[in-house]
Amino acid sequence: MKRAIATIGWLTFGVQASLGADDLAPANIIKLNLTAKVDTMPLYPGQETTVWRYVVSPLPPSAQKSHFPVIYVKKGQILDVTFKNGLSEPTSVHWHGLDVPASMDGHPADAIKPGGTFRYRFVVPNRAGTYWFHPHPDQLTAEQAAAGLAGAIIVSDNEEQALTLPRAKRDQTLVIQDRYINGSNQFQYVSNPQGGFLGPHILVNDMRNAAMNVDTAVYRLRLLNGSNTRIYKLAWSNGMPVTVIGVDQGLLAAPVTRNYVMLSPGERVEVWADFRSLTVGGQVKLRSLAFTPGGPVSGFGLNQGAAFDIMAFNATTAVTDPITLPATLSTGVPNYTLAGATNYANPRVIPFSLVNGTFQMNGATFGMDEVAENEKPKLGEEQIWVFQNNASLQMPHPLHLHGSGFRVLERIQSGAFPTQVASMQDGFLDEGLKDTTLVMPGETIKLVHKPLFYSGLFLYHCHNLAHEDSGMMRNYRVLP
């Protein structure tokens, strides 16, 4: 019998415990149980920390503490997930970046009651890349995410499998989040509809002072910003450039290098991390550099835009790693152009605004089934969306579209925020296929989006989850 290629593992450092293939029958349907529940984990000595987490089964029981689930799937396989809401409030599961039918997308209207179950079942049509899942209930997303609900989905495909890239323990998924941990070792969520939530404690895969022992070799690091509001300006402590091979929706056409990379909430970046210059005993740190965000920045001691270390990589084993960075990576990045869009003459323009203290998009806040006339793209058509961040408060907003990925083709600055722009603009990765991108204060971006597979109701919103919950979110309807 043909066996499923997918495995289920747990994000730990260096270990991906996989199940026997017999647990995953039949081939090409990945059948899982997923439960959202309250749990505890040992984060600091003393009292355990209460977390809300996704538990995937079947899985090795010993692997259940302290880690995010990661689901491995191959493009074209079916994910068949029986979800149980073990929380005391409604929740839904949104498959961030996966192109799924509207009824499977975790829309707030489809939230599952406490104790209820729902079967999410869809084909994974996406390119190889790093995707994720998180809750999406009406006005409760920020709190549930800050309590710990998140997981990763790693998609592979033939093109990606044929490349010589770091594999197995040298392919690591790292979820970066900030928390506010109080004196009793508990996560504290502080609601702030404008500023959002910024915690002073940086965790990677739920580990504080994150560190990983590495070989003197090249690693593929899949970095996911699972924070509610915090933006990272990623760089290496030893000054080596950041070599990027992939973004939200898969590999770039070719690697690029940057002195730093911006990673806003919801975004992913895949980094070629070359530790071959280290000797045993040596260390390099992934850090976030200082930048000027604009807007409210207060973060209980660690402000938005402050500099800090994220994670240390300690060389413990000397090896000879002959791997070379592939000169080309993927032919699958869509070549959308502004001129090729069907609405080139009359693009869809979506301003951000702040009205009576509440952020809006397209001149309104979220209405559960509300869709405006200019929020109806057509299936299969390449269309321009223009987003204008002229909102007061002068904040950057991480914009996210559900459904198919997009290309950011133009960024136009108002000129009113030169310091903010100068401190971030070299870190954008617009050469790849994206589903989330940071829109700077005073900036207008033009992107091209093409709904590839499904008509129906989808969301677009700010991925600063406090903004999303307070209504900086809208529906769009893909017309058949």
Site residues (vs Cu ion, CB under 5 A): 96, 397, 402, 462, 464, 467
| Both structure tokens of 415 | 């000129």
Work out which of 94, 127, 287, 474 binds ligand C2O, going by CB under 6 A.
94
Tell me the closest approach of the beta carbon of residue 301 to Cu ion, in angstroms. 22
Nearer to ligand C2O, 67 or 94 (CB): 94
Tell me the closest approach of the beta carbon of residue 108 to ligand C2O, in angstroms. 9
Nearer to ligand C2O, 170 or 463 (CB): 463
Binding status of residue 134 toward ligand C2O by CB under 6 A: yes
Tell me the closest approach of the beta carbon of residue 465 to ligand C2O, in angstroms. 9
Q: How far apart are CA 415 and CA 142, in angstroms?
A: 32
Q: Is 41 exposed, middle or buried (0-12, 13-18, 19+ CB in 10 A)?
A: middle
Nearer to ligand C2O, 96 or 450 (CB): 96
Q: Tell me which of Cu ion, ligand C2O, none is bound by residue 461, counting a contact when its beta carbon lies within the kind-specific cut-off of 5 to 8 angstroms.
A: ligand C2O
| Helices (runs of H) and strands (runs of E) counted in the chain | 4, 30
| Both structure tokens of 418 | 């030169």
Work out which of 407, 450, 461, 474 binds ligand C2O, going by CB under 6 A.
461
- Strand boundaries in 240-280, DSSP class E: 242-247, 250-258, 261-263, 268-274
Q: Tell me which of Cu ion, ligand C2O, none is bound by residue 397, counting a contact when its beta carbon lies within the kind-specific cut-off of 5 to 8 angstroms.
A: Cu ion
Number of residues that bind ligand C2O (CB under 6 A): 10
Q: How far apart are CA 150 and CA 181, in angstroms?
A: 18
Nearer to Cu ion, 95 or 219 (CB): 95
Subset of 316-345 contacting ligand C2O (CB under 6 A): none
- Residue number with the smallest Cβ distance to Cu ion: 462
Q: Write the binding mask 250 to 289 for ligand C2O: x where contact by CB under 6 A, - elsewhere.
A: ----------------x-----------------------
Tell me the closest approach of the beta carbon of residue 427 to Cu ion, in angstroms. 18
The answer to whether residues 298 and 277 touch, using CB atoms and an 8 Å cutoff, is: no
Edge-to-edge strand list for the sheet holding 171-179: 207-208, 201-204, 171-179, 218-225, 268-274, 242-247, 250-258
DSSP assignment of 47-94: SPEEEEEEEEES--GGG-SS--EEEEEETTPEEEEEEEE-SSS-B-EE
Q: Tell me which of ligand C2O, Cu ion, none is bound by residue 464, counting a contact when its beta carbon lies within the kind-specific cut-off of 5 to 8 angstroms.
A: Cu ion
Q: How far apart are CA 83 and CA 358, in angstroms?
A: 33
Nearer to ligand C2O, 434 or 463 (CB): 463
What phi, psi does 161 have (nearest 5°)? -65, -25
Q: What is the dihedral of CA 410, 414, 417, 418, to 10 degrees?
A: 70
Paired residues of 174 in beta bridges: 223
Integer-rounded Cα Rg, in Å, for the chain is 21
Work out which of 53, 67, 136, 434 binds ligand C2O, going by CB under 6 A.
136
Subset of 398-457 contacting ligand C2O (CB under 6 A): 400, 402
Nearer to ligand C2O, 166 or 377 (CB): 377
> How are beta strands 8-10 and 49-57 bridged, if at all?
unpaired
Binding status of residue 467 toward ligand C2O by CB under 6 A: no
Work out which of 53, 67, 75, 96 binds ligand C2O, going by CB under 6 A.
96
Nearer to ligand C2O, 268 or 348 (CB): 268
Closest CA to 165 of 250, 265, 249, 80: 250
The contact set with ligand C2O (CB under 6 A) reads 94, 96, 134, 136, 266, 400, 402, 459, 461, 463
